[in-house]
Structure 1
Amino acid sequence: MSTTGEYVPDGAGGRSRGAAGPWWWARRRGMVLDVVLAAVSALECLVEGVAFAEKTGVSPVVAGVFGLLAGSLLVLRRRWPVAVVLVSIAITPAQMGILLSVVGLYTLAASDVPRRIIAVLSGMTMLGTLIVTFLQMHGDLSSGTYHAPLAAVALTSVLAALGVTAPPVLLGLYAGARRRLVESLRERADGLERELSLLAEKASERAERARMEERTRIAREMHDVVAHRVSLMVVHAAALQAIAVKDPEKASASAQLLGDMGRQALNELREMLGVLRAGPAVPAGPAVPAVTVPVEPAPADSPTPAGEPDDSGPCLAELHALVEESRAAGMHVEYTVEGAQRRLAARVEATVYRVVQEALTNVHKHAPGARARIRLAYREAEVAVLVQNGPSGGAPRLALPSGGNGLIGMRERVAALGGGFAAGTTPEGGFRVSALLPT
């Protein structure tokens, strides 16, 4: 840890990750500060080393060089703070290295070195300073005419040792704690930013999925409404063309029925567009893949699909009218109901209705003149529907386009409610559509 808080050496003395300065410095200004401090410390130790040499008779050159080397070690305080403090303790008996000791203790206390090491080295520094100060003061006062009490000398020595040791250690501990707090807050802020980014991405994905599901639902509804009504209108138009000259009364009735179907189709489209304009769609749940095997039942508290409120859509009571429309178009339809009839969930009834509607539309389009059979079975916890037709009765096939989305739409509707769906040809050459839905 530096006085500017740019770098904190770890316990092993390694360089911090992401450092941009030369060698072990995080920044260039930190390097400049350490070089200046090392130069001042080296000059101080040089002067104090020469003074110590005069008192002890040691060569001033040797003492001065030793002082320069010891003081210049302050440049390594960020790299090896423990070594710097140990050197300052070692030269304490020579009465030099005050700046080296103060700055070294501050750097050691602010670093990530274990607290027990900081306590031991701080205690050694204070003890060495106390002993040297006590001996120096006791010797100086004893050589004069005034002899100070030993207690006063000891108290003064303790205060001097504390004054040199305690402030840098306490300041370093505060700086280290503040730096760790700032790093923790920065990491927490970065984590929150990443979480917000992930949440935004997920929200965008959910919105996109909801839009796609809503588009699929609208396309499915439009297909069911338009395909069935228009198919019947085409059937009646063909019949009208055939009987217009031979039977004017029947042609008039067919024309009236054709108009009624057109109006019904317009009304259904108008209702659908009204739902779209009513307000924003509620985001739908996860998309359900279109598979033909029985799907696990949807949970009872699952949300209503977007744009399909529980009180909207066709119901099973309207199946009779749907069958009569096909019969009016010339199809022979057998409709049977098994079990005790009862009201089911609106989405279940609407799904069964759409399955029957689309199956009858396919009979009109692909098997004109075929006989159809509709079987609706109420069971204890489910409802089953079967629509089966025989081979084409030889009537001319209608030139109606087919996009291949009818079966896909039925399968998606049934799977969305946790039901099972199956469709395929029969051995007799007809076609069968069946669905099983939980009630």
Structure 2
Amino acid sequence: MTTTGEDHTATLTGPWWWARWRSAVLDGSLALVSAVECAIEGYPFADAAGLPVPAGMVFGAVAGSVLLFRRRWPIAVVLVSIAITPAQMGFLMGLVGLYTLAASEMPRRIIGALAGMSMVGMLIVTYVRAHQGMVRGDLQMVGDWFVPFVSITTSLGMTAPPILLGLYVGARRRLMESLRERADSLERELQLLAERAEERAEWARNEERTRIAREMHDVVAHRVSLMVVHAAALQAVARKDPEKAVKNASLVGDMGRQALTELREMLGVLRTGEGGYGGSSVRLQTVPLAAVGVAAAAAASRAVDEETGDGPCLDDLQELVGQSAAAGMVVDLSVEGDARGYAAAVEQTAYRVVQEALTNVHKHAAGAKTRVRVAHRGAEIAMQVENGPPPEPGAASDARLPSGGNGLVGMKERVLGLGGVFVSGPTDAGGFRVSAVIPAEA
């Protein structure tokens, strides 16, 4: 598993400047070995320098123990190793110090300068020692080429490998830290995306609830309102005009059946799984709202209406107006321009706007003269429903039609959702006007 930056920081539990206890133990062990090495090498150094042997060994042990601070002060460790190179001490400290320096975050120019100083110091010391061996006769069997060869080979062997290895390890460490930071950043982004997806899903659910409530309101409210109007009329004429009462009862039955049919179609849209309601062959596949949002959900609903042919259209406006007229409304329908086919969503929205406007007339202005205008234009379709004041104030309350105040809101949401314009408000004559314009290519 990948360790993120936060987990990596949480593991920094070592003492002082060490990130982990094992790093402290490793540096302590290296420092101990280096101190022992330098103490042993301090014996010939003290003998050659004319110093007491214990003093030379103590000096070597103190110098070698500087390796303990290689992670804290790598430059100081390298400088000490260069300083004791003439005494032929600190070979381990030099190797480890150069490696630590190259693997650290120090600038390359400092690493190069100290590596060059170490190599030159080792080259000079090795050359002098080899030349002294030639003079003493220890190396009489070799040629003059041996001294520079040994000097160059030894200086490069003591300098180049730890520097190259340190540079590689440092680059790899930086790469791992970069990948760790990137993984941490990606994890935070994924968490943020998950939170946004949850918020988007909640928003989509709320929007879908609102859309379903609007659809249910449009489907049921108009039919039920007409049924209540006819029922009130039936009650008024039941004894005076039995023939008209029978006609009104028949209309109430027709309205109820139409309301049930539209409600069944709406429930079919909401069903998922093995097909729609009433044996429809259309199958709705469950789609996560967080992934597609309300637009896809609404598109799925419209697709069902298009395939089943159950959605209302502009051709049904004449029947809609006729139903209102049968309920006692004085309503006139006029169509301007050449009718043509629109997208299902456009025709359904136009139909629902007229339907809800007529429902509001039944509720709030019963008996008022109403005019419905539909205009087919080049790039849009416009509709307007305007009613005058009711002939008898308070007549609408006779049917006792409840009003939830959501009709105008639903009409406006529908029209604006297709990029149209919706305006409603009272007229100067005391009536009410509802106007909407919907783009033909919505």
**Residue 62 of structure 2 corresponds to residue 69 of structure 1:** yes
> Which of 263, 272, 292 is the matching residue for 2:266?
272
2:301 equivalent in structure 1: 307
1:262 equivalent in structure 2: 256
Matches of 2:426 and 2:299 in 1, distance apart? 31
Shift of 1:146: 5.4
**Residue 313 of structure 2 corresponds to residue 319 of structure 1:** no
CA-atom RMSD in angstroms: 2.4
Letter matched to residue 111 of structure 2? I
> Are 1:228 and 1:361, in contact at CA under 8 Å, matched by a contact in 2?
yes
> Which of 235, 238, 241 is the matching residue for 2:235?
241
Matches of 1:56 and 1:247 in 2, distance apart? 140
Q: Could you report, residue by residue, the CA deviation over 1:361-390 in whole angstroms, capped at 9, with x for unpaired residues?
A: 111111112111111122221221111112
> Are 1:285 and 1:305, in contact at CA under 8 Å, matched by a contact in 2?
no
> Are 2:82 and 2:118, in contact at CA under 8 Å, matched by a contact in 1?
yes
What TM-score do you get using the length of structure 1 for normalisation?
A: 0.87
Matches of 1:104 and 1:399 in 2, distance apart? 96
1:402 equivalent in structure 2: 403
> Are 1:81 and 1:108, in contact at CA under 8 Å, matched by a contact in 2?
yes
Shift of 1:321: 0.4
Relative distance call for 1:341 and 1:417 in structure 2 (3 A) is same
**Residue 220 of structure 2 corresponds to residue 222 of structure 1:** no
Q: Could you report, residue by residue, the CA deviation over 1:242-299 in whole angstroms, capped at 9, with x for unpaired residues?
A: 11111111111111111111111111111111111142466597779xxxxxxxxxxx
2:412 equivalent in structure 1: 411
Map residues 418-429 of structure 1 onto 2, 5 A cutoff: 418-429=419-430
What TM-score do you get using the length of structure 2 for normalisation?
A: 0.86
2:148 equivalent in structure 1: 154
2:30 equivalent in structure 1: 37
**Counterpart secondary structure, 2:385:** strand
> Which of 45, 52, 56 is the matching residue for 2:45?
52
> Which of 356, 359, 374 is the matching residue for 2:357?
359
Shift of 1:211: 2.2
Letter matched to residue 250 of structure 2? Q
**Counterpart secondary structure, 1:150:** coil
Q: Could you report, residue by residue, the CA deviation over 1:94-144 in whole angstroms, capped at 9, with x for unpaired residues?
A: 111111101101111211223333233223212211221222232234224
Letter matched to residue 403 of structure 1? G
Map residues 33-182 of structure 1 onto 2, 5 A cutoff: 33-60=26-53, 62-144=55-137, 147=140, 148-182=142-176
Matches of 2:193 and 2:381 in 1, distance apart? 40
Matches of 1:150 and 1:56 in 2, distance apart? 28
Relative distance call for 1:218 and 1:145 in structure 2 (3 A) is closer
Matches of 1:377 and 1:99 in 2, distance apart? 96
Q: Could you report, residue by residue, the CA deviation over 1:149-175 in whole angstroms, capped at 9, with x for unpaired residues?
A: 221232223322233223322222222
2:388 equivalent in structure 1: 390
> Are 2:363 and 2:396, in contact at CA under 8 Å, matched by a contact in 1?
no
2:5 equivalent in structure 1: none
**Counterpart secondary structure, 1:375:** strand
Unaligned runs of 5+ in 2: 1-8, 277-283
> Are 1:214 and 1:307, in contact at CA under 8 Å, matched by a contact in 2?
no
Shift of 1:65: 4.2
Of stretches 334-343 and 64-73 in structure 1, the one that deviates more from structure 2 is 64-73
> Which of 324, 328, 348 is the matching residue for 1:350?
348
Matches of 2:129 and 2:339 in 1, distance apart? 111
Matches of 2:247 and 2:69 in 1, distance apart? 106
Unaligned runs of 5+ in 1: 1-15, 289-301
Map residues 180-219 of structure 1 onto 2, 5 A cutoff: 180-219=174-213
Relative distance call for 1:38 and 1:146 in structure 2 (3 A) is closer
Of stretches 202-211 and 251-260 in structure 1, the one that deviates more from structure 2 is 202-211
Letter matched to residue 187 of structure 2? E
Matches of 2:438 and 2:157 in 1, distance apart? 86
Among all aligned residue pairs of Structure 1 and Structure 2, give the percentage whose two residues are the same amino acid: 63
Shift of 1:415: 0.5
Shift of 1:221: 0.9
Relative distance call for 1:142 and 1:30 in structure 2 (3 A) is same
Letter matched to residue 27 of structure 1? R
Matches of 2:150 and 2:245 in 1, distance apart? 126
> Are 1:358 and 1:406, in contact at CA under 8 Å, matched by a contact in 2?
yes
